[in-house]
A and B are shown apart, each in its own frame.
Chain A
Amino acid sequence: MTQLGETRRELALDCFLLAGRIMMESGAETYRVEDTMIRMAVSQNMVNSHCFVTPTGIMFSPSEELATRFVRVNNRGTDLERVALINSVSRKLVAGEYTLQQAYDEMLIIDQTNYRFNTWLQILAASVASGCFLILLGGSWIDLPYAFIFGGTGYIIVETILEETRVKIFAEFIGAFIIAILASLAVYAGLAKNLDTLIIGSIMPLVPGLLITNAVRDLMAGYFVSGLSKGAEAFLTAFAIGAGVAVVLSF
């Protein structure tokens, strides 16, 4: 077995941490991140490595003689395309199709490229989802255009506030608040019929579905720190949405 050179090991470490950070920032499950990093490390002959991933930081300890490294995970969003891309790069690295340098370059490109759909397309998707849920949850067809518009508006508001302030709870609170106000106005003006289904349909794009799924999967895989913190995040989001609607309904 060939001894790894010092620079090569540093490159390997950078590569693993970059992969972990991108996956964590894009909304992958914690146990998948750890699994990916360990698999990549084993493929590079670093057998005795350990890593510890939390939603806010990643620690990776390669072996006895190398120092432990740490990266911070700053902003967590949802970008499943990146998760899939990093996953395929790591698969190729493990299978030996990519060299370490190639994999690292590929990951740098993935880190810098914006894979998101067009903003307007996302807003349209939020509107369509709101409209569909309105009908699925038993709303009337008269309310459909309002759910369509309010769902899109809520999504725009949440995304803009998130961009400006980085405080997720506040953004969701304001989003739900404005949706509830608009829905109440539409109902009191006699345009829409059923306030409850209208509000429920319109706030559906804000529901923390990814967080709930991730929290459950992490808890079941035995990663209690991340499972509980993601569960707390999901609960706070749900609370913010509920509070935003409750403020309007209490008048």
Chain B
Amino acid sequence: MNWPLEAFLSFLAAGAFGVIFNTPRRTLLSCGLVGMSGWLIYRTFFLAFDDSVQASFAGAFAVSIVAHLLAKKFRMPMIIFSIAGIIPLVPGSKAYNAMRNIVENNYLEAIAYASEALMISGAVAMGLVFAEVLMQLFFKRQAKRIQRKMGLTQE
């Protein structure tokens, strides 16, 4: 695997999706970085454990965490950063293979591909959710600490 090439391509792809979804101009670079981090973590996991479901979970988790941090930094909705990063993880090739096998009447193989695609989409969704809950807990604690420091809450 050619790391610099994949990093560059995923950066470019996520940035291009940023243009298609019309994200604000000054966040395009960050969108590309989110996409790159998600894809590289996905690939690393995939090469290390050879399981695309876990790898998708890790990738989506990374995308969501980075997107949350960037959203805090730019003071913009988190979705601006996350969608361009999520798209490379969508199981397009699995769904395509499932459909192709259905067309060719290989129903058993199609079911295998389809269930894999379903598992991957579930993993991506769970990755998003886990990261979101984690970040909420973290930021809530941080906000409380700041409030206590400023003397806004009495304890």
Contact = CB atoms under 8 A, between A and B. Distances in A.
Contact of B96 (A83, A87, A126, A200): A200
Interface string A126-142: 10110011011100000
Interface in A62-92: 78-81, 83-85, 87-88, 91
Contact of A209 (B17, B77, B100, B103): B17
A105 interface: no
B119 interface: no
Interface string B137-154: 000000000000000000
Nearest to A36: B77
B22 A207 contact: no
B42 to A, nearest CB: 10
Contacts of A81: 22-25
A236 B140 CA distance: 37
Contact of A87 (B12, B76, B82): B76
Contact of B103 (A216, A238, A249): A249
B135 interface: no
Q: Give the interface size class of chain A.
A: 35 or more
Contact of A199 (B96, B104, B121): B96
Q: Is the interface of B mostly helix, strand, loop or mixed?
A: helix
Nearest to B2: A135
Contacts of B79: 27-29, 32, 80, 83, 210, 213-214, 217
Interface in A8-37: 27-29, 32
A85 B92 CA distance: 32
B20 A91 contact: no
Contacts of B104: 249
Q: Give the interface size class of chain B.
A: 35 or more
Contact of A80 (B23, B92, B129): B23
Given A200-B92, A213-B86, A216-B129, A122 B80 contact: no
Interface stretch (A39-47, A53-61, A113-121, A163-171): A113-121
A235 B129 CA distance: 20
A212 B24 contact: no
B69 interface: no
A209 B87 contact: yes
Contact of A200 (B9, B16, B86, B93): B93
A136 B10 contact: yes
Contacts of B75: 88, 91
A29 B22 CA distance: 16
A83 B16 contact: no
B41 to A, nearest CB: 14
By CB atoms of chain B within 10 A, which of A117, A121, A209, A242 has the most? A209
9 contacts: A79-B21, A88-B76, A196-B96, A199-B96, A212-B124, A213-B82, A220-B128, A242-B95, A246-B103
Interface of B: 5-6, 9-10, 12-13, 15-17, 19-25, 27, 39, 75-77, 79-80, 82-84, 86-88, 90, 92-93, 95-97, 99-100, 102-104, 121, 124-125, 128-129, 132
Interface of A: 27-29, 32, 78-81, 83-85, 87-88, 91, 115-117, 121-122, 125-126, 128-129, 132-133, 135-137, 155, 196-197, 199-200, 203-205, 207, 209-210, 212-214, 216-217, 220, 238, 242, 245-246, 249-250
